[in-house]
């Protein structure tokens, strides 16, 4: 990662990957714990969903209003402040004995967790242009591992102890990260002198004037919607009488998806070699194939379970690869706007994920897994149809292939 910052330690990519993984996991601890948390705090089933929604809302607000500061504020200080916010919020969640305090804490957890979306552009800043995709891919592999492992880890820790311990342990990890990153991260002062209001106003112009951002964000919004639909509904399928898996069994199943994290460094290397266009289609095709495989065997059979495991790996591989390809494309558009572009990119596909979760749950209730798989195939199919227009638009000068 040398070449962009004098004195950057050789271990910096590994540190950044670890920091991103541990921090991103904060978004997902609450998902498998909604049941025990609701029972402990006396939340009704109608309100229990807020434990997940408010975490996501905080993250979305942070993407739009805090991540752009990476183009204005010294990056190390910004990361440390956000991690401090996350540590405080996680501690409050672990100590909460009333629903209101816990729900406010989840909002703070989401806000503080956007530190990862300051760290990823920071990694791109510190990398030479020729290897930027590889470096971003390596860092993103840590982030993806954190996302994939958070749910099973939360379930296993709660099974051995109680749900507050999950948040308390994560708060301790955030404090440890602050100590490490304060020593290891080289300072980076952005060149922009825009005031905060002007910085936010410029994001609208970036959406209008940056067709690459719009295209890559819509690609990944479709794939992340499919990803969210799968991981929202597959635990319901596995717990149904057809499979009858316990929470521990579902946690073990979730570990299969972690294999997809290897896609990010591979995708970064492919993008560095100029093959991002075809690799994007391959990523979309893998997501489509993943859902198609799940319909090849009767629900409840050993073959069906095996195909679901394969589908989880292919799905996570395709989504992780496309995420890295998209980041590689938008990070090449200019260092001075990189944090704002990243915030817009992430906010767009995060919205896609929220829509995918809602649609996945709705169609599963109405039509079972068959309808869910149709939805899962339709989303990457739409992305592929849009991808087919990319080269024509590039020839006309409207976007970059």
Give residue 128's pLDDT. Answer: 78
Other beta carbons within 10 angstroms of residue 310's beta carbon come to 14
143 and 19 together in one domain:
yes
**CATH number of the CATH domain containing 348:** 1.20.1250.20
- What would the two tokens of residue 325 be? 């390809």
Distance, in Å, from the CA atom of 341 to the CA atom of 335, rounded to the nearest integer, reads 10
Distance, in Å, from the CA atom of 336 to the CA atom of 329, rounded to the nearest integer, reads 15
Is residue 196 a contact partner of residue 285, using CB atoms and an 8 Å limit? no
Token look-up 């599963």 returns: 364
Give residue 394's pLDDT. Answer: 61
140, 166, 190 - which closes a domain: 190
159, 190, 221 - which closes a domain: 190
Which domain, by its residues, includes 353? Answer: 196-401
171 and 223 together in one domain:
no
201 and 237 together in one domain:
yes
Residues of 363-382 as b/e, b for ≥16 C-beta within 10 angstroms? Answer: bbeeebbebbbebbbebbbb
251 and 339 together in one domain:
yes
Give residue 210's pLDDT. Answer: 93
Provide the CA 185 distance to its chain's centre, in angstroms. Answer: 23
Residue by residue, pLDDT tens for the chain (401 residues) are 433 444 455 688 899 999 999 999 999 898 778 778 888 998 875 576 677 778 888 998 999 899 999 999 999 999 999 999 999 999 999 999 999 999 999 999 999 999 999 998 898 888 777 777 778 778 878 888 898 889 889 888 888 899 999 999 999 999 999 999 999 999 999 988 888 899 889 999 999 999 999 999 999 999 999 998 898 788 889 888 999 987 678 778 878 777 777 777 788 788 888 888 999 999 999 999 999 999 999 888 999 999 999 999 999 899 989 998 998 899 888 888 888 998 899 889 888 888 888 888 889 889 999 999 999 999 999 999 999 998 776 655 544 43
The predicted model scores a pTM of: 0.80
Is residue 351 a contact partner of residue 228, using CB atoms and an 8 Å limit? no
> Alpha-carbon dihedral of residues 355, 357, 358, 360, nearest 10 degrees?
110
115 and 253 together in one domain:
no
Distance, in Å, from the CA atom of 330 to the CA atom of 335, rounded to the nearest integer, reads 10
275 and 343 together in one domain:
yes
Token look-up 């993008």 returns: 271
212 and 174 together in one domain:
no
Give residue 7's pLDDT. Answer: 43
* Residues shown for the chain: 401
66 and 169 together in one domain:
yes
Give residue 395's pLDDT. Answer: 57
Query: What phi, psi does 185 have (nearest 5°)?
Result: -70, 125
190, 223, 255 - which closes a domain: 190
The 3-state secondary structure of the chain, one letter per residue: CCCCCCCCCCCHHHHHHHHHHHHHHHHCCCHHHHHHHHHHHCCCHHHHCHHHHHHHHHHHHHHHHCHHHHHCCCHHHHHHHHHHHHHHHHHHHHHCCCHHHHHHHHHHHHHHHCCHHHHHHHHHHHCCHHHHHHHHHHHHHHHHHHHHHHHHHHHHHHHHCCHHHHHHHHHHHHHHHHHHHHHHCCCCCCCCCCCHHHHHHHHHHHHHHCHHHHHHHHHHHHHHHHHHHHHHHHHHHHHCCCCCCCHHHHHHHHHHHHHHHHHHHHHHHHHHCCCHHHHHHHHHHHHHHHHHHCCCCCCCCHHHHHHHHHHHHHHHHHHHHHHHHHHHHHHCCCHHHHHHHHHHHHHHHHHHHHHHHHHHHHHHHHHHHHHHHHHHHHHHHHHHHHHCCHHHHHHCCCCCC
23 and 124 together in one domain:
yes
Other beta carbons within 10 angstroms of residue 160's beta carbon come to 8
69 and 214 together in one domain:
no
Give residue 5's pLDDT. Answer: 45
282 and 400 together in one domain:
yes
Is residue 265 a contact partner of residue 14, using CB atoms and an 8 Å limit? no
Provide the number of structural domains found in the chain.
2
221 and 95 together in one domain:
no
Residues of 100-125 as b/e, b for ≥16 C-beta within 10 angstroms? Answer: eebbbbbbbbbbbbbbbbbbbbbbbb
Token look-up 């964000």 returns: 217
Give residue 278's pLDDT. Answer: 94
Other beta carbons within 10 angstroms of residue 260's beta carbon come to 25
Is residue 383 a contact partner of residue 219, using CB atoms and an 8 Å limit? yes
């Amino acid at each position: 990662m040398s070449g962009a910052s004098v004195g950057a330690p050789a271990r910096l990519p590994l540190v950044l990957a670890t920091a991103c993984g541990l921090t991103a996991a904060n978004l997902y601890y609450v998902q498998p714990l909604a049941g025990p948390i609701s029972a402990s705090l006396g939340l009704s089933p109608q309100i229990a969903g807020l434990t997940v929604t408010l975490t996501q809302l905080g993250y979305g607000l942070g993407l739009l209003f805090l991540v752009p500061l990476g183009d204005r504020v010294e990056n190390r200080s910004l990361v440390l402040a956000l991690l401090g916010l996350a540590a405080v919020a996680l501690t409050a969640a672990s100590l909460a004995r009333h629903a209101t305090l816990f729900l406010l804490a989840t909002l703070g957890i989401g806000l503080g967790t956007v530190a990862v979306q300051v760290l990823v552009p920071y990694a791109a800043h510190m990398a030479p242009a020729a290897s930027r995709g590889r470096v971003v891919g390596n860092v993103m592999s840590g982030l993806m591992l954190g996302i994939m492992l958070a749910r099973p880890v939360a379930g296993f820790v709660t099974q051995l102890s109680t749900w507050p311990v999950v948040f308390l342990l994560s708060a301790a990890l955030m404090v440890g990260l602050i100590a490490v990153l304060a020593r290891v991260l080289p300072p980076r002062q952005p060149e922009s002198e825009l005031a905060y209001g002007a910085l936010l106003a410029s994001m609208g112009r970036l959406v209008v004037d940056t067709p690459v951002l719009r295209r890559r964000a819509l690609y990944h919004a479709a794939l992340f919607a499919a990803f969210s639909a799968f991981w929202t509904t597959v635990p319901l399928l596995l717990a149904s009488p057809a499979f009858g898996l316990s929470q521990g069994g579902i946690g073990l199943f979730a570990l299969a998806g972690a294999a997809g994290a290897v896609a990010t460094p591979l995708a970064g290397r492919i993008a560095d070699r100029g093959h991002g266009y075809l690799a994007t289609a391959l990523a979309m095709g893998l997501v489509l194939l993943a859902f198609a495989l799940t319909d090849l065997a009767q629900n409840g059979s050993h073959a069906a379970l095996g195909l679901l495991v394969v589908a989880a790996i292919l799905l996570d591989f395709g989504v992780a690869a496309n995420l890295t390809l998209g980041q590689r494309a938008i990070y090449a558009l200019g260092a001075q706007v990189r944090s704002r572009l990243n915030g817009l990119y992430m906010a767009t596909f995060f919205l896609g994920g929220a829509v995918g979760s809602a649609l996945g749950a709705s169609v599963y209730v109405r039509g079972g897994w068959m309808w869910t798989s149709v939805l899962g195939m339709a989303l990457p199919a739409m992305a592929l149809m849009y991808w087919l227009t990319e080269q024509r638009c590039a020839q006309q000068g409207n976007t970059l292939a």
